[in-house]
Every structure is written in C-alpha cells, then in structure tokens.
Amino acid sequence: MTGTRRLLSRLRDLRAHGSAPLSTLVQLVASELVSEVCSVYVQRPGDILELAATEGLNQDAVGRTRLRVGEGIVGLCAATGTVMNLPDAQNHPAFAYRPETGEEPFASMLAVPVRRSGRTLGVLVVQNRTPRNFTDPEVDDVETVAMLLAEMLAGSGATDGSPEGLAATVPRLFAGTPLMGGIAVGPVVLLRSARPVIRLLADDPKAEQLRLEQAVVHMQRGLDDLFADVPHNGRAADVNASREVLEAYRLVASDAGWLRRVGDVIRGGMTAEAAVQRVASELHDRMRRISDAYLRERLADMEDLANRLLTALTGGEPVAHVPEGAILLARRLGPAELLDWHARGIAGVAVEEASPSGHAAILARALGIPALGSLRGMLDSAEQGDDAVVDADDGNFILRPEAEVRRAYIRAQEARSAKYAELATWRGRPAATADGVGLKLMLNVGLSLELPQLERTGADGIGLFRTEIAMLARGSVADVAEQAAIYARVLDEAGDKPVLFRTLDLGADKLLPGTVTEEENPAMGWRSLRVGLDRPALLRRQLRALLLAAGGRGLSVMFPMVATVAEFRAAKTLLLAEAKRVRPCPGTLRIGTMLEVPSLMWQLPDLLKESDFISVGSNDLLQFLFAADRGTPSLYDRYDFLSQPVLDLIEQLVVAAKAACVPVSLCGEAASRPLEALVLAALGVTTLSMPASGILPIKAMFAQVELASFRSVLSAIRRSGGTSLREPIATWAREQGIII
C-alpha cells in the first residue's frame, strides 16, 4: 500500500469512530507523511487564524498563537487561498516570528488552505528541519487531508470570520457592475451546485472511474436538452453572441484533458465526486491568477462543467421550490447554469465573479434578466430566502433592504410597467378636474435612480424627498460633501420644478446597519427629528449639505415627526444658524413641518405662525391617530382614511392654514389612491405628493370629475353619519362612470 493510500485509509478509520479530535489528525499526518511538524490553524471571527492543534510545535502555543489573515506565511496562504511551498520559510519576506511556537529549527514549510464552498476555514501546515521543497505527491497528500479537514471544520461550525449573528440581519449594500440593466426585487436563492462531498475516500478506483464516466454521459445529455431552448429571438447581436458562447462551452465539455486529471485523482484513492471537487478547486485557483479574459472564460466554463458533474454524481442540492421573482446569487455562474435557472423562473441575478463581457452576462442580455457582476464578498453575507434588490441600472445590490428601500425599488420597478405606457398620453397635460380646478401632483422619491420619473410622469415637482433612503441604501450617513452631491443632483434634475427635502427620518423600521433598538415601540421611540435634536451635529451636517447643494438656488426643507412647536422651533433655529454660515445663501429658504403626530393639531395657531408650509404625512398620522402600527399587516385595513375623524382633522387643518395663508399638501400613500385623492381635493388639499406610479392614474381620474358636484355629494355623505365613507363615495364614482 502506498503512503497516500495508507494515510487515507487510516483517516477513514479515524472518521468511522466519530469525530476525531484535531490533535489526533495532526499526529497521524505527521507520522504518515514523515514530517516533523503538522499544525492546523482555524479561522476565527474577525479574520483571525488561531493555532488549534499541533504535532511538533510547543503545545503551550495552542489557542495562544494567533495571526491575522494576510499576516505571516499562514495568513498569506489563507488570504490568497494558495499553497505555499517554501524551502526556507523563515527568510521569506512575509514570515511572522512567534517565539511561543518554538518553530526556529524548522526550515521548510508547506501551508495548504483548508477551503470549503469557496470559503477559507483554516490552514494546514507541515514543517521539516531540512531546507527543501515538498514534492508534488507530498503536496497532493496534504491537499487531500485539507479537504477532509474542511469537512470536519465545517461540521464543527468553524467560521470564515464574518461577524457572527450580525450578518444575517442587517442590510448590506454591494456596488457591482451592471451586466444587464433593470431592477429585480425578491427572495434570494443561493446557487449551491452540488451537495457537499461527504464520501471522500474509496476502495475501488475502477468502480469510481465507471461512476465518473456515467456521470459525464448524463451531464452531456442534459446540456443538449438545455441548449436546445436557447432563445432565437431578441437582438441579433445578442442571439449570435449567445450561440458562440454555447459552442465554445460544448468544446470544453468534450475536452478530455481535465477529465483525465479527475481520473488521476481517483486512482489516488478518492471517490469520483471528491476527485471532481479537487480538480474544480484547482481550476478556481488557476482562474484567480489569469488575467487573459479569454482563458479565464474557458476555465470558468470548465468550472461550471465540474459543478454539473458534481451534481450528477451527488444528486445536487435539492431545489425544492424557486419562489416567484427569486434572485439567484452565485460566486460564479456558467452559461448552462444561467439557462437552468432561467427555466426555473428567476427574475434577477447577482454574481460575485462575472464581468460584462463574460458568458453569463451575454446570456443574461439575450434572456433579458437584470444582472449584476463583480460583487465581492456578497455571498458570504447572504442566507437562503433573504430579501434582496438587484438594481442593475445603478450597479447596486442590496441584501436585506430596509422595508422603505425595498418599497422605493418596487416603486421604481412598477413605474416601468405596461400600464404606465398606456397612461403615457396624460404626461404632458396639466392636472385639473373637469370643472377646471388645478392640482399639483408631485413625486415622493428617495433614490437618484427615481429622478428620471420626474420627466417620465410629468410630475409638478418632488413633494417629498426622503433623504434617509440614500443613507439606508449605502449603509451609513454620508459626510457633508457626499450628501451635498446627492441633494445637488436632485435639484439639478428637478430644474425649475420645486423640491421638498425632508431631513433624516431614521429609526423605527428605518435602521442603519449596526443600529440596535431595544425600545418596545420604536415607531414611537427615539427616532427621526428626536435623534436630530439630540445629536445636533448630525442634523447640522445634513442642513449644511442641503444649503451647499442649493448653491444660491431656492431651498425647501421640512422636518419629520414634529410633536411640539418647540421641537420645530429648535430645528428651524439650527437651519437658520447654518444658513448664515453657508455661502452663497439660498435664493429663497422655506422651512416647513410634516404633520404626522396628532398633537400638532392642538398647536396650530403657534405652528402656523412659524411654519412656511405643512405637509401631512398620512402614513404616520393615521398610525398615531388610530394607535394602529402601520407595519402590522393584520391591521392594514382596520381603520380607514375615508372616515369621519380623518376627514374632520384634514378639514380643520385646511381651514386654519388657509386663514393663516400657509399652504398644505399631503405626501402619504393616501395621495396615490384615487378615492382618497378625490376627497382630499374636495376638502381643499390640491397639492398631493405620491409614488411615481400614482401620478398619471390620479391625473386621469381627476380629469373625469366635476369637483363642485362631488363636494356637495361628499357633504351629504358626511352628514349621513356612517363610520366608513368609502362605500358611498365609491358608489358615486361608479355611477358617474369615473374610471379609477
């Protein structure tokens, strides 16, 4: 029996007796490979490699010797994922001396990364006194042991260093390269092409070779079926490019060279699947080092094929169900895989290692799937089923987006819908009722990618710019310069149209990564303007950025979640103080408040003296008015905007504001609902701010309404005293033939 086969068979015996301690494994490797030192370093949270077991170095160093990833030979091996074979390690420039290990006498060193599913879990090290290079068969043996060790470490929950617990909950933004434009919002499906290889060692190489050959035949048949379904329509250039990609792929599939290499590994005593995995990981290492785009694509194809072979051999990860509109996340993606997943109905793709000229990108364009590439580190942060956004128009991938960010993207997506095309004819017409009452229909936006909606919808301006959305999307509050650039872009795009900036409304369901809220009722807790007033530096920074962005143009700013006139006054004072410092000063400076907290209704006389305008935030106002959490789905329909208390409140506000000559608008979701918009206009709120998808339908609805006659109908309905006014209003609209 050769040394390798004997080592493998002893390792198998060891595993058969349950989980072997690392100390036994290192003893065995040291004795079978006749090396003086064998050590295992395990990766711990925080990118630390810790000496977890050793044979030959001082036992005292176990658990004490620690290196950062990238530090020393071991750290370098982990960081680059490559084998380090050094005859004289201590004279290598990266060597990091750790006196407690007692490793001075050992000159030669072989460090092999312990990796599983592309993640580095640790490093296996062998050392000898004699300065020499380790031979290829020796390297092969240590790599085989490293594979086994990877299974052991994965089973014991070793980490790859990502902060435990945190990664699974907080939103993450990754900047990527657009491969195919578009937006997709949906649950994540992680591409795991094959089950982890559990059976590594085999007794009968001939039987394994046979299994391999059968799997190759099976795989090739599968490819023939798959390629038959490639789209024939679409842009001619894309169709031709995708055909070329598949032809090249077919050539690789029939290439005997890499299959021969798999056969060699099988003869060394491994199972067919372990051998394929080993060759795939070698290919991956080679790919990392090759800069030639063509060769990289060939190797990527081979890797894709190796993964398909693994799936054929192990049965693959069962893909129980691909949820509607799912987003596929992959480290790398071969063309055949993309076709497979397209057939299963994915709506978007995010890939760690893919470029616009790559095969996956070419096919994504042919298939019309929004796709992003070059998303380093994305996969390690994602869990199956996480929510995600592929924004391939702006190159952003957002994992676990805040509800508000998600909604913003859904709005952006909706705005592309076919219905929108039908309504496009309303774009250039002014918003007015059939009897000539003019309205202002404005946009609620929060991301720069939504700005083109101004042009597309013909909206009269931006009635609510939610400044916190861009901060949530980038994961932190930007500095003054970056914020100023964001706001200046908004003003540039808006041109002559007015923009209302709302200061940061963070807290409640809009939490930045790392923010922990221990409050029982965060929606009524330390959020929004309360944070700004308690952390004036944060608010001042934003106010300065807004003033700088205006650069002499007009500026309108409003504050969210104001509960007392004193709070409004304090915020206004900060803004006026900043305005004195920033040059040029804005052409006009209008300072207003949102009305979201009902308490303001009893402070109207004072408030109206100080506020230049009021914008009703009906989403929050209703939750506080009815004490009904806006985020609880079961309460969604329980209280109606079209009810006496809400209408009475709006009416009182309009009457008081009119007397004080203070304009009132409404910027909650209610503005985009036709019946609500109609009632608001009848009550005198003729400036409505809403998501882009609402503008044209609302405009079309108003054009069909005689507002004067609806006013008297509404008065009669209110006098009749029913709890919900919705039904009688809807009946009237139906009878008038108003299409909503």
Under the rule (CB under 6 A), what is the footprint of ligand PEP?
464, 466, 505, 596, 617-620, 667-668
- Looking only at the bridges linking them, the beta strands covering 48-55 and 37-44 are antiparallel
Q: How far is CA 97 from the centre of its chain?
A: 41
Residue closer to Mg ion, measured from CB, 401 or 617 = 617
Residue closer to ligand PEP, measured from CB, 305 or 595 = 595
Residue closer to ligand PEP, measured from CB, 387 or 468 = 468
Per 3-state DSSP, the chain is made up of helix, strand and coil in percentages (nearest 5) of 50, 15, 35
Residue closer to Mg ion, measured from CB, 297 or 620 = 620
CA distance 369 to 668: 33
The 3-state DSSP class for residue 520 equals: coil
Q: Which residue is nearest to ligand PEP (CB)?
A: 617
Phi, psi dihedrals of residue 736, rounded to the nearest 5°: -80, -5
| 364 binding partner (options ligand PEP, Mg ion, none; Cβ < 5 to 8 Å by kind) | none
The 3-state DSSP class for residue 380 equals: helix
Q: What is the 3-state secondary structure (H, E, C) of 267-282?
A: HCCECHHHHHHHHHHH
- Tokens read off for 253: 């599939």
| 395 binding partner (options Mg ion, ligand PEP, none; Cβ < 5 to 8 Å by kind) | none
Least distance in angstroms from the C-beta of 286 to ligand PEP: 50
Task: Write down the catalytic residue from 38, 77, 284, 359.
Answer: 359
Task: Give the total of residues touching Mg ion (CB under 5 A).
Answer: 3
The 3-state DSSP class for residue 69 equals: coil
Residue closer to ligand PEP, measured from CB, 263 or 507 = 507
CA distance 687 to 500: 12
Least distance in angstroms from the C-beta of 711 to Mg ion: 29
Least distance in angstroms from the C-beta of 283 to ligand PEP: 49
34: left (phi over 0), alpha (psi -120 to 50) or beta: left
Residue closer to Mg ion, measured from CB, 387 or 620 = 620
Confirm if 433 and 703 have CB atoms less than 8 A apart.
Answer: yes
CA distance 614 to 595: 7
| 668 binding partner (options Mg ion, ligand PEP, none; Cβ < 5 to 8 Å by kind) | ligand PEP
Q: One symbol per residue from 229 to 268: x for binding Mg ion (CB under 5 A), - otherwise; what is it?
A: ----------------------------------------
Residue closer to ligand PEP, measured from CB, 55 or 669 = 669
Identify which range of 45-53, 204-212, 236-244, 595-603 contacts Mg ion by CB under 5 A: 595-603
Position 162, amino acid: S
CA distance 502 to 505: 8
| DSSP character at residue 517 | -
Task: Write down the catalytic residue from 38, 77, 342, 667.
Answer: 667
Residue closer to ligand PEP, measured from CB, 387 or 505 = 505
| 466 binding partner (options ligand PEP, Mg ion, none; Cβ < 5 to 8 Å by kind) | ligand PEP
| 618 binding partner (options Mg ion, ligand PEP, none; Cβ < 5 to 8 Å by kind) | ligand PEP
Cβ neighbourhood burial of 533 (10 Å; 0-12, 13-18, 19+): middle
Position 71, amino acid: E
Q: What is the 3-state secondary structure (H, E, C) of 303-334?
A: HHHHHHHHHHHHCCCCCCCCCCCCEEEECCCC
Least distance in angstroms from the C-beta of 601 to Mg ion: 16
Q: One symbol per residue from 325 to 354: x for binding Mg ion (CB under 5 A), - otherwise; what is it?
A: ------------------------------
| 458 binding partner (options Mg ion, ligand PEP, none; Cβ < 5 to 8 Å by kind) | none
Least distance in angstroms from the C-beta of 419 to ligand PEP: 23
Helix 674-683 to helix 692-702 angle, to the nearest 10 degrees? 60
Footprint of Mg ion on 611-650 (CB under 5 A)? 617, 620
Least distance in angstroms from the C-beta of 689 to ligand PEP: 8
Residue 321 among the catalytic residues? no
Residue 77 among the catalytic residues? no
CA distance 196 to 716: 70
Least distance in angstroms from the C-beta of 625 to ligand PEP: 12
Least distance in angstroms from the C-beta of 642 to ligand PEP: 16
Question: How many Å is the maximal CA-CA distance in the chain?
Answer: 101
Binding site for Mg ion (CB under 5 A): 596, 617, 620
Report, as residue numbers or ranges, the catalytic residues.
Answer: 359, 667
